[in-house]
Structure 1
Amino acid sequence: MNPRIFLSPPWMGGGEEQRVREAFASNYIAPTGPMVDRFEALFSEAVGMPNVCALSSGTAALDLLFRELGVQRGDTVICSDLTFVASIAPAVHAGATPVFIDCDDATWTMNPRLLAEALLEAERKGARPKAVVAVDLYGQCCDYDRIEALCARHGVPLIVDAAEALGARYGARAAGDAGWASVYSFNGNKIITTSGGGMLASRDAGVVERARKRSQQSREAAVWYEHRELGYNYRLSNICAAIGVGQLAHLDTIIARKRAIAAGYQARLRDIVAISWMPEAPTGTSNRWLTILQLDPRLTRVTPEQVRLALEAENIESRPVWKPMHAQPVFAGARCHGGAVSERLFRQGLCLPSGAGLGDHDLDRVAAVVRACVASF
């Protein structure tokens, strides 16, 4: 059987192991340490955000931000509909009611028109949302300018979930450089990885420092263990941070490879009229975290699931587009503004293997299976 092609495996550039060796040599085999400090400094420079805090996951970063905002039972939090569940789960754990916003066709990210509708509806009810979570989807920034303006007009903090978008751009701004605060993920399948990890960023230094304290069990500055509030153990390991230091050195290379892979698939399959691709917004540059095709049911009888199974039969991993949050059983009955676009993208979309280590032979393998599957129906 041919070697396995994974959806989005980690890509090591060569310096990560040396950074880990340095961390071991320092004997900081613990949360916090010099590699955490170094990783934060390098990351801050990379995204242009002056205040950052390395954490155990992007979900932890969101949890700390909702804690900072005092999200609790009876509150509402507005969130992108087409996303991974972690974008909203911490708010729901805190007791909030989610309200979802459909995406638009041009970017697949939060539709500002529908967000305006949701904010006006909340205003009429006299129930201002505690936050808006706008997701930078599959490596593409949402419409920062319009969404920021809407949130400012209604006095609602904007959190940018840039978990999938490190290295992407919105105009001259880096992904996550918007709103009140932003979060990033370093899970094993993301643009860079620390095995598991995340980052919280904000231009408000107080927000970041309070999050840092809460991530360390809210321990006070005393010789003994003193706590005036309950915190969390959300710190990033010094060893994991060392991987991140090594990975950040190759960020531009990884993004260039991801973009080349997307272009490679499109070139190989451009003659198949039933296939279209996730568009790139004119407002910025996507990091092309994952390459996603759409199959138009008006032009072909083949479904994304049939293509996925054909790929799997050849030892190639692919995956459906995120299932919309409003369609998830756990959120049955939740308010959603729109929803038809997210549902269509879920029905018609398939994420193709997009690891930065893929070569031309790998792209040829994937494209050949897709082509044969479409031709067979």
Structure 2
Amino acid sequence: MLAENRTVLLSGPDIGPLEQEYVLAALRSGWVAPAGPDLDLFEREIADRVGVPHAVAVNSGTAALHLALLGIGVGPGDVVVVPTMTFAATANAVAYTGATPVFVDCDPATGNLDPDLLPGLLGEAKAVLTVDLYGSCADYDRILPAAERHGVPVIEDAAEALGARYAKSPYAKSPDKKSPYKNRAAGSFGRAAALSFNGNKIMTTSGGGMLLTADPELAARARHLATQARLPAEHYEHAEIGYNYRLSNLLAALGRAQLCRLDEMIERRRAVRDGYAKVFAHVDGVLLPGADDPAANCWLTGIVVDPERTGWPARDLAAHLAARNVETRPLFKPMHLQPVFAGARAVLSGAAEHLFRNGLALPSGSALTGSEVRRVLDDIAEFLEGHR
């Protein structure tokens, strides 16, 4: 297929010779079952990168969230606060435990959970789930102290944010006031955190995830449940229901190679984001949520369009790019609008619905070639010129 006709993907996997080398070495070692040295090393290397003592590799970020919630005792009848602006896995993991998600709206500038909407729920919540949306950390300067005052544990869904760090609350009263969380890595907040290594994430193991925590008992419990809750015996002995959540040694080898290249891949995504910032810089009515976050990993770059000011809606740009084989996607449809959660409680401001109806995610992957990036930017410039 000619390069000019090849579809430009939103966030395709970035795989090269190093990944092939690591996976081939793992195959040749004979460790093709779930356990193995690459799995142990991958857990240690991710824990060191994020700065937490314990990591448990599993087969998805969803599994990591599920295990984290079980680890803090979430179960039937409990209420868990969940950002409405997120992917379904965040809410699904709560449903797996039998608990009830209560959805909370977002900050319109970042898409992350709005701390102003939390206080009325913390008295009844068993846990608060945060989401580091599109690779920018949630507002931990305000969320964590509020949760701690009520004795409510926080679980961090950092599925999209590996490699990001926390800059500072955008709501800080004084820009000079020192944040106790500044520069901490995504994945290091709360009682536990979940990472995802799905094929479209900042780095991939094809499918996979990781639970991170400073709590050794929670980590041990997660590891036990992830291996079918098998007890140490000569035969198969099980005293409770477990899950087949382990990550394979082969996929861990792929992840180790990807981790070696993580900083390089983040910088390439940042360069793509900078290109979008320039092309839209003088367009009245277009915002890039989180673009001013210097510590984001730039997993996906999105825009939010005010059609009354631009004269065109986001869907028109999406159609223009689709006709040129450029993949885009609306920003997440809020959980309170999803049919599966119809009737769920929600504390809303309208911000998430606005982002969904007017937002568009643009190609952001580190695997994009220079010519592909130029092609997308030229296609956007062509669209904008036609709407001046």
The normalised TM-score by structure 2 is 0.91
Deviation at 1:56, TM superposition (A): 0.3
1:88 correspondence with 2:88: no
1:268-308 CA distance string (max 9 Å, x none): 332222322113466x6111101111111221232222211
Q: Secondary structure of the residue that 2:217 maps to in structure 1?
A: helix
1:84-127 CA distance string (max 9 Å, x none): 010010211332221111111343211111112322xxx2xxxx
Cα RMSD after superposing both structures:
1.5
C-alpha contact 1:302 1:373 (8 A) present in aligned 2: no
Mean Cα deviation higher: 82-91 or 266-275:
266-275
C-alpha contact 2:275 2:377 (8 A) present in aligned 1: no
Alignment of 1:1-377 (within 5 A): 2-119=5-122, 123=123, 128-170=124-166, 171-280=182-291, 285-377=295-387
Separation (CA, whole Å) in 1 of partners of 2:74 and 2:154: 14
Separation (CA, whole Å) in 2 of partners of 1:257 and 1:81: 29
AA in 2 matched with 1:173:
R
Separation (CA, whole Å) in 2 of partners of 1:58 and 1:336: 24
Separation (CA, whole Å) in 2 of partners of 1:193 and 1:153: 37
Q: Secondary structure of the residue that 2:55 maps to in structure 1?
A: strand
Check 1:374–1:333 CA distance in 2 against 1; reply closer, same or farther (3 A cut). farther
Separation (CA, whole Å) in 2 of partners of 1:60 and 1:99: 20
Mean Cα deviation higher: 16-25 or 100-109:
100-109
Deviation at 1:81, TM superposition (A): 1.1
AA in 2 matched with 1:163:
A
C-alpha contact 2:283 2:310 (8 A) present in aligned 1: no
AA in 1 matched with 2:227:
Q
Separation (CA, whole Å) in 2 of partners of 1:101 and 1:138: 17
Separation (CA, whole Å) in 2 of partners of 1:366 and 1:85: 29
Separation (CA, whole Å) in 2 of partners of 1:155 and 1:25: 49
C-alpha contact 1:136 1:142 (8 A) present in aligned 2: yes
Q: Secondary structure of the residue that 1:16 maps to in structure 2?
A: helix
Identity %: 46
C-alpha contact 1:140 1:280 (8 A) present in aligned 2: no
Separation (CA, whole Å) in 2 of partners of 1:72 and 1:160: 18
Separation (CA, whole Å) in 1 of partners of 2:377 and 2:267: 20
Separation (CA, whole Å) in 1 of partners of 2:157 and 2:349: 19
Check 1:118–1:371 CA distance in 2 against 1; reply closer, same or farther (3 A cut). farther
Separation (CA, whole Å) in 2 of partners of 1:374 and 1:332: 38
Q: Secondary structure of the residue that 1:182 maps to in structure 2?
A: strand
C-alpha contact 2:108 2:355 (8 A) present in aligned 1: no
1:212-233 CA distance string (max 9 Å, x none): 0110011111222111212111
Q: Secondary structure of the residue that 2:156 maps to in structure 1?
A: strand
1:293-343 CA distance string (max 9 Å, x none): 111122123222221121111111110000011111111122221241111
Separation (CA, whole Å) in 2 of partners of 1:147 and 1:30: 40
Separation (CA, whole Å) in 2 of partners of 1:70 and 1:159: 12
Separation (CA, whole Å) in 2 of partners of 1:359 and 1:245: 23
Q: Secondary structure of the residue that 1:292 maps to in structure 2?
A: strand
C-alpha contact 1:183 1:200 (8 A) present in aligned 2: yes
Deviation at 1:370, TM superposition (A): 2.4
1:58-80 CA distance string (max 9 Å, x none): 10111112222333332111011
Q: Secondary structure of the residue that 2:310 maps to in structure 1?
A: coil
Separation (CA, whole Å) in 1 of partners of 2:281 and 2:97: 47
C-alpha contact 2:81 2:127 (8 A) present in aligned 1: yes
Separation (CA, whole Å) in 2 of partners of 1:301 and 1:118: 40
The normalised TM-score by structure 1 is 0.94
1:139-161 CA distance string (max 9 Å, x none): 00001121111111111110000
Deviation at 1:182, TM superposition (A): 0.3
C-alpha contact 1:107 1:281 (8 A) present in aligned 2: no
AA in 2 matched with 1:254:
M
Separation (CA, whole Å) in 1 of partners of 2:30 and 2:54: 27
AA in 2 matched with 1:186:
F
AA in 2 matched with 1:198:
G
Q: Secondary structure of the residue that 1:118 maps to in structure 2?
A: coil
C-alpha contact 1:77 1:98 (8 A) present in aligned 2: yes
C-alpha contact 1:110 1:134 (8 A) present in aligned 2: yes
Separation (CA, whole Å) in 2 of partners of 1:303 and 1:359: 28
Check 1:17–1:254 CA distance in 2 against 1; reply closer, same or farther (3 A cut). same
Separation (CA, whole Å) in 1 of partners of 2:17 and 2:71: 38
